[in-house]
Chains A and B, each alone.
Chain A
Amino acid sequence: MLIFEHSSEGRRGAPQAPAEKAPLTAIPEKLLREGSAALPEVSELQAVRHYTRLSQKNFSIDTQFYPLGSCTMKYNPRACNSLAMLPGFLNAHPLTPDAQNQGFLACMHDLQSMLCEATGMAAFSLAPMAGAQGEFAGVAMIEAYHRSRGDDARKEILVPDAAHGTNPATAVMCGFTVKEIATLDNGDVDIDALKQAVGPHTAGLMLTNPSTLGVFERNIEAIAKVIHEAGGLLYYDGANLNAILGKIRPGDMGFDVIHSNLHKTFSTPHGGGGPGSGAVGVAERLRPFLPLPVVTEEDDSYRYLTAKDCPQSIGRLSAFMGNPGVLLRAYIYMRLLGREGMVRVAEFATLNANYMMAEAKRRGFTLAINDRRASHEFIITLKNEARDYHVSAMDFAKRLLDLGYHAPTTYFPLLVPECLLIEPTESEAKEALDGFMDALEQIKHEAETNPELLHAAPQTLPVKRLDEVRAAKQLDLAFKKQ
């Protein structure tokens, strides 16, 4: 039932607003609204009950194991939420003069420094509001860098064919054409193809390392050399930073510009779709181009750098300062971890993934890539099951939901047929991993003996499989009162 269907004309959520409607003096009639907006009319209790009950229809990290590959669904510590919501932070107007905003700016400055250290970059901007906007900022900086040198012919961005969709979409938004580079069966970039592709038209390469295939790119130094010798820059998509935090730093691998998804590696909540943060870090030569605002320290106090300080900046990406509430949560998490905790993140995320991969192999699953270490995630391909029993990765995913597990990422990366990309994260205990592997094995058995069970899944959730074709054809995107 929709909230609109709980509505009853004339019912109000008082006392949440002024009791009377003050007169709208001095506003001409024609600028005023005719009639009220058709919002629900419910009591506060009705709203609270409705949205509490709706929440119970969600899977979440707090209620289920959620091994969604590439998304790093780790525990979101509650302290990060409650401390980020202290009144001193929540009530801060974004345009408060810097002198009255020192507590917040101090946190942001510390966060920039810690991110520099953790990634080996020279400077950071916290402005981008998600990974994709971080990519945008990064590629826009690459463009600005080449342009500042009069190097105007560099119109092409390279991405591996395993790249996330945001990579090519971003390059196009920044005015580049995109060329995809093939990946070898062992998961490494095809370096010969890369050598063929580069030239005076190459602006840069966007790379995720470990890659979206769940393996570390072993030829990273050679790749960096090819790109740099061609005059291009190397972009690091930090979606998989969790796998290597404190173990190897993008800056040391030769990357010139990176973004870090703080909503992945640094545990800020995904919130059912966002908000996130795609903080961007750069090597020294790209520092002048960082997006604003950036926080700097001068004479023991902090202030925002402005366009006057940074005339070559690519500019601003939002009205204010990106997503400060997200940044605070990441900052609190990093202070809880400390330098010791950061390395452990990568170690235990990797231990968990390799353990699950070994278990998957032992239980007869086909791995997408053989004889490699897993990073913090790995891929099972169900192409044999699909061929032999006519069950798809989607069927496996839906059946997992019935068994109380959120499904891994399906059908990404696009290269691997019928794939499940599994990322357990470091915060899951061994029994959760074992339980999940048992469930997967059970489903494999069901696929062999009773594939109908998979086709009909899920059976235990609030709805059964939904008609997506109908949703796209008979568009119903908003409730309209009959």
Chain B
Amino acid sequence: MPFIPHTENEITQMLETIGVDSIDDLFDEIPAHLRAGVLQAVPHSMNEMEVSRLMKQRADQNSSAICFLGAGAYEHHIPSAVWEITTRGEYYSAYTPYQAEASQGTLQLTYEYQSMMTALTAMDVSNASMYDGASSLAEAILMAVRANRKSRSRKILIPTSVNPSYRKAAHTIVNGQQVELIDVPYDSASGTVTLEQIKQQTEAHGGDITAMVLQQPNFFGCLEEVDAITDWAHDNNILVIAVINPLVMSVLNPPGKWGREDNAGADIACGDGQPLGAPMSAGGPYYGLLCCKQSLVRQIPGRIVGRTIDLDGKEGFVLTLQAREQHIRRSKATSNICTNQGLVVTASTIYMAIQGAQGLENTAAACHANNNSLVEKLIAIDGVKKAFSAPQFHETVLQLEQQPAAEVLKALMEKGILGGYNLSQDYPELGEAILVCTTEMRTEEEIDQYADAMRDVLSSGATVASLAESA
């Protein structure tokens, strides 16, 4: 019996102790007419050898194309040590560290994670994780609504240069709480949001805005004018919620430093921790990072670890400020979150420790350099041009002037290249456009391979159409 250790003899003894004749008797409080029959649609049991065969077949069915796709999930090198240590049973099969003395490993590691994440973002406080970047943004918005007591409007500005999936998830999650999410259009020349547009939307919505969201780099890979916007927001009692890529913060001005020095920093920073040691894995598990200023610490949702001392005065770690959480506050909690993404945070902490700041910086810089190289080669091809003028990090929007993006991407796929994200659904105004991404994983040869493939595809329109048909 899979994973059940009982011998016949033991079963008999146990039933005797209980005082029943059969295991079935233990279910006699369940109304008989409601009892389930055989679960026909569940296949019969397989042994590990058979399941291994099945899963290998399924895994091999997935594509092994060279990845130039980002749009919120990035293929980075992960040192072997990261997941080897992370999947040790002591981390893997432990529960939430409610029994602190028996969970010092997870607790100290989480404290170290909080320390690393605050160092990277230059924020005061980090929690122990949310589910992912998108849900973390939603929670950041709810947190801002609770925290900004000077504003009554519950109105949040979100530039359309913020990841569309994040905006959608945020919408789902804040929907029940009378929070209004207001789009701010990006500037079609720069690919970033301008202060003019922000001011315009603020005025159009009555002037009282609770918070605004700013993604750096934004969904298009463009770098926003974070300083000027943060200053203006703070001058107008608007809290700033930064959405960041934490790896990129090793080289870019981090959210805790945005704006003037006397009033420095985004108030809340969120984002997806995936670039720091989590494999792409078809979408997860990743984790949501969530940081804030010290003054907002009682409004942050999720678990937080604090350093303290034991009876002997020895250093130790515990879950703290639990009065914010659902298991204490129930309907008055800051959020309903309970289980978070602890194991991925474990991986991320080990990743950051092994890489150090220098490793992260070199990785980020290599992503950027590779992207520059790719973009240079692609825009040299007839019919490909850069969509935006703002400085870019490791992603770039390219417009295809002659052929539909969907068909180009399909034809590239036939050549073993995952060529980017098709923007036409979310941003029809861009025409036929794709978002390309390059990480440190891409070699010069692979970049050339992409450029050659793109040249082939674009120069043979007929081939594209026929490929599309045959696929």
Partners in one complex: yes
Whether A55 and B90, one on each chain, are in contact in the complex, defined by CB atoms closer than 8 angstroms, is: yes
| A 81-105 to B, binary, CB cutoff 8 A, 1 in contact else 0 | 1011111111111111101111110
What separation, in Å, do the CA atoms of A238 and B445 have in the docked complex?
Answer: 51
Query: Would you mind naming 27 contact pairs between A and B with Cβ atoms under 8 Å apart?
Result: A13-B353, A17-B362, A23-B365, A39-B360, A40-B356, A42-B356, A47-B353, A57-B104, A79-B52, A83-B51, A88-B60, A96-B282, A118-B42, A175-B175, A221-B34, A270-B93, A271-B91, A272-B94, A320-B283, A323-B341, A348-B23, A350-B23, A372-B29, A430-B5, A430-B14, A472-B323, A479-B112
A271-293 vs B, CB cutoff 8 Å, 1 = contact: the mask equals 11111100000000000000100
A214 to B: closest C-beta gap in Å: 12
The distance from the CB of A19 to the nearest CB of chain B, in whole angstroms, is 7
Is B283 in contact with A94, judged by CB distance below 8 angstroms? yes
The verdict on A74 contacting chain B, using a C-beta distance below 8 Å, is yes
Are A248 and B36 also in contact (CB < 8 A) when A59-B102, A169-B330 are? yes
- Total A-B pairs in contact (CB under 8 Å)? 703
Contact A60 B94 (CB under 8 A): yes
- Report which of A23, A44, A319, A478 forms a contact with B354, defined as CB distance below 8 A: A44
CB contacts (< 8 Å) of B111 on chain A: these are 2, 477-479
Of chain A, the residue at the smallest CB distance from B175 is A140
Question: Which of B128-136, B153-161, B193-201, B455-463 lines the interface with chain A?
Answer: B128-136
Interface with A: B144-152, B229-237, B300-308, which one?
A: B300-308
* Known contacts A16-B77, A338-B45, A463-B310; A101 and B304 CB within 8 A of each other: no
How far does the alpha carbon of A350 sit from the alpha carbon of B26 in the complex, in Å? Answer: 7
A39 and B353 within 8 A (CB): yes
Residue-wise, chain B 25-64 has the 8 Å CB interface mask toward A (1 for contact) of: 0111111001110111111111110011011111111111
Do A269 and B62 touch (CB < 8 A)?
no
In angstroms, how far is the closest chain A Cβ from the Cβ of B443? 12
Min Cβ gap A136→B in Å is 6
Additional 11 contacts, C-beta under 8 A, given A90-B281, A95-B73: A13-B359, A31-B226, A55-B85, A58-B104, A62-B93, A83-B51, A246-B39, A271-B343, A275-B340, A463-B316, A477-B297
A24 touches B104 (CB 8 A): no
Q: Are A471 and B320 in contact (CB under 8 A)?
A: yes
Q: Indicate if the CB atoms of B85 and A52 lie closer than 8 Å.
A: yes
Q: Are B99 and A59 in contact (CB under 8 A)?
A: yes
B253 contacts A34, CB within 8 Å?
Answer: yes
Q: Which candidate, A192-200, A352-360, A383-391, is the interface stretch facing chain B? A: A352-360
> What class of interface size applies to chain A in its complex with B?
35 or more
Q: Which of B113-121, B204-212, B377-385, B397-405 contacts A (4 or more CB under 8 A)?
A: B113-121
Are B46 and A336 in contact, CB atoms less than 8 angstroms apart? yes
Asked if A272 contacts B279 (CB within 8 A), the reply is no
Query: Which of B18, B63, B95, B109 lies in contact with A66, CB distance below 8 A?
Result: B95
Task: Say if the beta carbon of B339 comes within 8 Å of chain A.
Answer: yes
Distance from A452 Cβ to chain B, minimum over Cβ atoms (Å):
13
Tell whether, in the assembled complex, residue A136 and residue B92 are in contact, meaning their CB atoms are under 8 Å apart: no
> Contacts A59-B103, A430-B6 known; A276 to B250 CB distance under 8 Å?
no
B134 and A318 within 8 A (CB): yes
Given A169-B333, A355-B17, A358-B17, verify A51-B85 contact (CB < 8 Å): yes
A48 within 8 A of B: yes
Which of A124-132, A225-233, A442-450 interfaces with chain B? Answer: A124-132
Tell yes or no: A317 within 8 A of B by CB: yes
Set B97, B101, B163: member contacting A464, Cβ < 8 A: B101
What's the least CB distance linking A427 to chain B, in Å?
5
- A275-B172 in contact (CB<8A): no
Segment at the interface with A among B180-188, B366-374, B446-454 = B366-374
> Closest CB-CB distance, A324 to chain B, in whole Å?
4
**A22 to B, closest residue via Cβ:** B369
| Cβ–Cβ contact A332 & B55, under 8 A | yes
Name which residue of chain A comes closest to B31, CB basis. Answer: A221
Chain A residues with Cβ below 8 Å from B316 are 462-463, 466
Q: Is B263 an interface residue (CB 8 A)?
A: no
Known contacts A100-B63, A129-B131; A28/B339 CB under 8 A: no
B177 near A173 (CB under 8 angstroms)?
yes
Q: Which residues of B contact A143 (CB under 8 A)?
A: 176
Complex contact B79–A44 (CB within 8 A): yes
Decide yes or no: A33 and B52 within 8 Å by CB, A13-B79, A17-B358 being known contacts.
no
Tell whether A168 is near chain B: CB-to-CB under 8 Å.
yes
The distance from the CB of A328 to the nearest CB of chain B, in whole angstroms, is: 8
Interchain CB contact under 8 A, B2 and A62? no
A95 to B116, CA, bound (A): 29
Partner of B88, one of A28, A55, A165, A169: A55
A415 adjacent to chain B (CB < 8 Å): no
Whether the pair B135, A129 counts as a contact (CB closer than 8 A) is: yes
Query: Any chain B CB within 8 A of the CB of A367?
Result: no
**A148: interface (CB < 8 Å):** no
Judge if B19 is at the interface, Cβ distance under 8 Å: yes
Q: Which of A99, A170, A318 contacts B135 (CB 8 A)?
A: A318
Q: Are A74 and B3 in contact (CB under 8 A)?
A: yes
Report B-chain residues with C-beta under 8 Å of the C-beta of A30. Answer: 227, 253
CA distance A96 to B64 in the complex (A): 10
Q: Indicate if the CB atoms of B360 and A17 lie closer than 8 Å.
A: yes
Q: Is the CB of B96 within 8 A of A272?
A: yes
- Of chain A, the residue at the smallest CB distance from B139 is A173
A392 on the interface (CB 8 Å rule)?
no
CA distance A90 to B55 in the complex (A): 13
Closest Cβ of chain B: how far from A327's Cβ, in Å?
9
Contact B42 A317 (CB under 8 A): no
Closest CB-CB distance, B168 to chain A, in whole Å? 5
How far, in whole Å, are A32 and B253 apart by their CA atoms in the complex? 5
Q: Does A418 contact B (CB under 8 A)?
A: no
Q: Select which of B29, B77, B409 is within 8 A of A218 by beta carbon.
A: B29
Return chain A residues, CB-CB under 8 Å to B372.
25-26
Asked if B223 and A27 sit within 8 Å, CB to CB, the answer is yes
A86 contacts across to B, CB distance below 8 A: 55-56, 59
Q: Which of chain A's residues have a CB closer than 8 A to the CB of B341?
A: 129, 271, 273-275, 323
Q: How far is the CB of B326 from chain A (nearest CB, A)?
A: 4
Whether A114 contacts B356 by the Cβ 8 Å rule is: no
